[in-house]
Amino acid sequence: MSAPAWVEQVIWWQVYPLGFVGAFPAQQRPPDPGEHRLRRITAWFDHAITLGASGIALGPIFASRTHGYDTTDHYHIDPRLGDDADFDHVVAEAHRRGLRVLLDGVFNHVGVDFARGSQTWLRDCTFEGHGDLITLNHDNPEVADYTVDVMRHWLQRGADGWRLDAAYAVPQRFWANVLPRVRESHPDAWFVGELIHGDYAAVVAGATFDSVTQYELWKAIWSSLNDRNFYELDWALQRHNTFLSSFAPLTFIGNHDVTRIASRLDHPGHVALAVVILMTVGGVPSVYAGDEFGYQGVKEERLGGDDAVRPEFGSPPLPVDERGAQLWTLHQHLIGLRRRYPWLHAASTATLRLDNRQYVYRTYCGDEALIVALNVDDAPLHTSVPRAQVIAGSGAPPTEIVDTVVVEPHGWRILRPT
């Protein structure tokens, strides 16, 4: 089993639709289908393309009562977003621009108002203590059949793949039953499971996923930058290498479930380093909408604690300050670099220099390679490298050929061996 070939080129721009269009939390009355709010996302498709993205990863869009992960009917678009015609419009506009569309499927649990099936479809327990989320009975064949049919239904309507929410909580045998059946009719679909920790490679094999969310690397990126401890990042990248031998993980530095990277990092300048890492290591990168502008937002463990990281977006273009404009340009440049070097999708990394505050690694695939130098020290980094051309960096001449790289405090360089 291998992932569809198109995934090698994809870079996702992730959107949480209910928040993005102001449908949840609604400050006044909930919107109705006649407002067709889902269509507002299409106004941002050209922005995504200008950024360099080639796919739109949508959060939950199916009927629910609150935040979208308490699904009440997988066959209907959430009335606060619109209706089936709005979905068809979004897919058509995305595909017209060459953008793939990834849907968010919640098949571990449902909302208390879930209308399908019988009580045998449900377990007598809630999901992770959330009283409004009831866990599905994955031992019931009808639940598997339902999941297969739902996936096929929306793939037939034009979706290109599925993110499988809380996949870590679902028995692997359930996915191993469901996904091959869906692939029979949609062999070009891509399936990524949400995993937090554990043996990623074993789960991918056992569940027949194409990919999983790389939370280990996400944590290592921001934690190593904050602690000025690149040993943690190096360890995570060694683990990442082992995953890449069998699948390409979904990599990210932000999503709808975590504190935004610009709020997570202690040093504002280190946001650039986090983006550099994301775009120079193997995997399938995803950029959470707003991170390209340096949006702030802290996730809190309380009712409504996700709202700050799931804000409403108006119509493009949004006004941004100087720092936001700089981060936008940085994202464009680094995503463009990744698209010029598509082999980065399968690239492994090798450590060239490592200490707590300075890290140089070689990212490579076959005969292709780049060298990445990161410095979170208050002193410059000086290190010898194989003769190489500087192609990107903070304050770096873009065509300089060197055999010794010098990186200013809290800076970075990307070089191509000559």
Residues 12, 150 within the same domain: yes
Beta strands in 253-347 (DSSP E): 284-288
Residues 55, 202 within the same domain: yes
pLDDT digits (tens, 9 = 90+) for 59-89: 999 999 999 999 999 999 999 999 999 999 9
Residues 242, 362 within the same domain: no
Query: Rounded mean pLDDT of 207-211?
Result: 98
Cβ–Cβ under 8 Å, residues 190 and 3: yes
Would you state the pLDDT for residue 318? 87
Residues 400, 341 within the same domain: no
For β-strands 122-127 and 130-136, DSSP reports them as antiparallel
Would you state the pLDDT for residue 285? 98
Residue 101 sits in a domain of what CATH number? Answer: 3.20.20.80
Share of the chain above pLDDT 90, in %: 90
pLDDT greater than 90 at residue 125: no
- What is the pLDDT confidence band of residue 124, given thresholds at 50, 70 and 90? confident
Would you state the pLDDT for residue 132? 87
pLDDT greater than 80 at residue 1: no
Residue 374 sits in a domain of what CATH number? Answer: 2.60.40.1180
pLDDT digits (tens, 9 = 90+) for 175-191: 999 999 999 999 999 99
Would you state the pLDDT for residue 330? 97
Q: Does residue 60 have a cis bond before it (omega within 30 degrees)?
A: no
More confident call, 219 vs 120: 219
Residues 28, 54 within the same domain: yes
Residues 332, 354 within the same domain: no
Residues 322, 247 within the same domain: yes
Residues 331, 390 within the same domain: no
Would you state the pLDDT for residue 117? 75
Would you state the pLDDT for residue 26? 74
Tokens of 181: 């059946």
- What is the pLDDT confidence band of residue 222, given thresholds at 50, 70 and 90? very high
Give, in order, the Cα–Cα distances in Å from 106 to each of 60, 68, 208, 244, 255. 8, 9, 17, 26, 16
C-alpha span between 186 and 248 (Å, rounded): 20
Closest CA to 70 of 31, 112, 32, 102: 112
Query: Rounded mean pLDDT of 30-51?
Result: 95
Residue 405's domain comprises 349-417
pLDDT digits (tens, 9 = 90+) for 256-265: 999 999 999 9
Select from 324, 347, 370 the last residue of a domain. 347
Residues 218, 298 within the same domain: yes
Residues 266, 388 within the same domain: no
Query: Rounded mean pLDDT of 90-116?
Result: 96
Would you state the pLDDT for residue 127? 77
Residues 222, 368 within the same domain: no
Cβ–Cβ under 8 Å, residues 127 and 69: no
Would you state the pLDDT for residue 332? 97
As to burial, measured by CB atoms within 10 angstroms (0-12 exposed, 13-18 middle, 19+ buried), residue 2 is exposed
Query: Rounded mean pLDDT of 339-365?
Result: 98
Number of structural domains, the chain? 2
Would you state the pLDDT for residue 70? 96
Q: For 403, how many CA atoms within 13 A lie in the half-sphere containing its CB? A: 2
Cβ–Cβ under 8 Å, residues 86 and 39: yes
Select from 321, 347, 373 the last residue of a domain. 347
Select from 347, 364, 389 the last residue of a domain. 347
DSSP 213: B
pLDDT digits (tens, 9 = 90+) for 4-39: 999 999 999 999 999 999 999 876 778 889 999 999
Share of the chain above pLDDT 70, in %: 98
Residues 130, 191 within the same domain: yes
Mean residue pLDDT of the chain comes to 95
